[in-house]
Amino acid sequence: MKKKVSAVTFHYMIITGGFWMAFCVVTAYAAVFLHGAGYDDQELGIILALGNVGGAVLSPVLGAWIDRNRKIRHAQVIYALLAVQVLLLVLLRVNPRKSFLCAACYVLYLAFMMPVNALNLDLCVRLEHAKAPLNFGLARSMGSFAFVILSTLLGILTESLGYTMLPFAGLAVIALQAAGNRLVDRDLRGAEERIPAAAKEIQERASSLVTFIRENLGFCLMLFGTIIIFIAHNTDGNFLINLVENLGGGPAVMGYLAAFTAIVEVPVMMFSDRLPKRWSRVQYIRLAFVFFVLKTLAYALAPSIPLLFAARILQAPSYALYTVLIVGYADEVVSRKDSAKAQSLAFSMTTIGSVLASLIGGSMFKTTGVRPTMLTATLFALVGAAIAIAATFIRKKTAGSR
């Protein structure tokens, strides 16, 4: 019998889709906007790095603040973040030329956008702990699908209307996120009423960060490996226009390519609960790490636009597989009392990878060119995968789990 999508899952789809469309605007089209405004690759890398650092710092600060102030709702914090983004987008539209104000607004826009995902993941953890009927894999796949739609549309619009239309897209996405968060907050209120008192006690006894690292050394070492992997992953993602232009394409081609990359993620995310059971979750994650290396190498060696499209298929068994399984894997290997901390750290590591990719990639694309930069990224992916895979065996030996 066919399963119906629950209201909670549908509402979570809206906030997931909204965030990844915002990510499309601010990150996937960062090069289009900032190049149009007059910034070079190195300056682009610095702006993205500063924005990601801001987001990486702000995310755990806001999470800890919510934990300490139980009367503060996630939705209230998210509305405040969205309001700041509205102001910054208006300023970017008014002043879309190279200047200190433009760079500062873009850095702050990115910094205030990124924490929304950390709060969304915390919402996911809290809903699941309260036994709410949430299908995270399905909801996350809709995030990729939303990315596909907007990326395709923006590729066409920026080529015909110019980069200055991007702030309008950002404002539209903010409206969607605001509506979705109102619905999810209502779902969470209902779910929280059913949380047993004992579960709340567990949250209050959560470990300090130092204790968490000591008790979960294998998991934390795996996250260190993912930082290095995501340097490679984001070298491509943050500078996709460079790869496309190197092969003779433009913004429209980049939009189609980003959309195609996202759409190949959807089946893996949507049907992640139907993966063959002969492999455990950790074995699938190890496989994803291997495919991160193969994916980056394929991007580096692609000699034409059609073959670059073909190489994007490897996004499915790498990024898509890792993204949809890491939430459950963290919940599996880390004590329930530290579950939210584990989710937040997993997200922060990918953000740090994006920061380093922006700094390293921005400099290398400018000085050495596309292929040497992507081959260097492949080396990063190989080192990161080796560390991450080895770390999963440390967890197995120390925790005695699969």
| Lowest pLDDT segment from 54-63, 200-209, 268-277, 387-396 | 200-209
Instruction: Name the average pLDDT for the chain.
Output: 84
pLDDT at position 46 is: 86
Range 14-18 average pLDDT: 93
Rounded Cα distance between 179 and 105, Å, is 24
pLDDT at position 388 is: 95
Residue type for 106, please?
Y
pLDDT at position 401 is: 42
Range 325-350 average pLDDT: 75
How many Cβ atoms sit within 10 Å of the Cβ of residue 49?
22
Q: Tell the residue number behind the tokens 């795996």, with chain if given.
A: 222
Backbone angles phi, psi at 138, to 5 degrees: -65, -45
Range 329-358 average pLDDT: 76
Range 84-95 average pLDDT: 94
pLDDT at position 284 is: 93
pLDDT at position 3 is: 56
Which of 155, 180, 128, 156 lies closest to 327 in space, CA to CA?
A: 128
Do 185 and 74 meet the contact criterion of CB atoms below 8 Å apart? yes
Q: Which two tokens stand for residue 339?
A: 């579950």
DSSP per-residue string spanning 314-367: GGIIIIIHHHHHHHHHHHHHS-GGGHHHHHHHHHHHHHHHHHHHHHHHHHHHHH
- What is the chain's length? 402
Q: Which two tokens stand for residue 68?
A: 């300490």
Backbone angles phi, psi at 396, to 5 degrees: -65, -40
pLDDT at position 397 is: 40
Query: Where is pLDDT greater, at 151 or 25?
Result: 25
Residue type for 361, please?
G
Tell me the fold of 7-399. Answer: Growth Hormone; Chain: A; (1.20.1250)
pLDDT at position 205 is: 52
Do 361 and 234 meet the contact criterion of CB atoms below 8 Å apart? yes
Give the chain's radius of gyration (CA, Å): 20
